[in-house]
Amino acid sequence: MELLTERLRLVPGGPDLVRDLWSVLSDDAVWPWYHREKPTYDQVEGSARAIGEGWRRDGVHKWIAYDRGSGELVGRGGLSRPPLDDDWGQLRAFLPDESWARDHSGWYELGWALRGNCRGRGYATEIGRAGLAYAFGELDAQAVASCTRRDNASSRAVMARLGMRPAGEIVSDGDPYAVSVLLRAEAAAGPSPGRSRG
């Protein structure tokens, strides 16, 4: 499902957009946050296939983001249903002990990655807002979680601007990742002291 925000066109990712996904994930401002080494084109092709499969299976995954005015490739971002592996399974500790959290039916992960020349322009917040609106409006999500390496101050600031509350940390590949969460009831209540929507 393609979405339009104030400044962005968000197109569902997949194999047909692998070149653009490669341009994002191999950008020197992006890949060090996700990998020890720059990903190969074959690895990004695998990611593009997984994104396309996520859209077919779950009705949601990451979008490729373009500037509506110029057509410039901005980044990728949006929602996905995280696998319950040793890494992502840790996120359940920050969700209510309810059936939708235990059976993985009612929550999603929200993320974004912007090319270096597109940072500092509010695009990540715009992608994040679109993702939260889609999660709670279209997918009837009960919660959205987001995580980033502890030292990624920019992404943590975006989470705060989105009204997500810090929930704790997980460890992935030996690195600490800060986790923020927004529950459906919190999203419906709007901003409160300590949570910013600016």
Q: What is the pLDDT of residues 80-92, one digit of tens each?
A: 998 878 888 899 9
The model carries a pTM of 0.92
Tell me how long the chain is.
Answer: 198
| Domains of the chain, CATH where assigned | 3-189 (3.40.630.30)
* Parallel, antiparallel or unpaired: strands 175-183 and 143-149: antiparallel
Q: How far is CA 154 from CA 71, 74, 106, 121, 134, in A?
A: 24, 16, 27, 12, 23
Residues of the chain under the 50 pLDDT cut: 192-198
* 18, two tokens: 């692998």
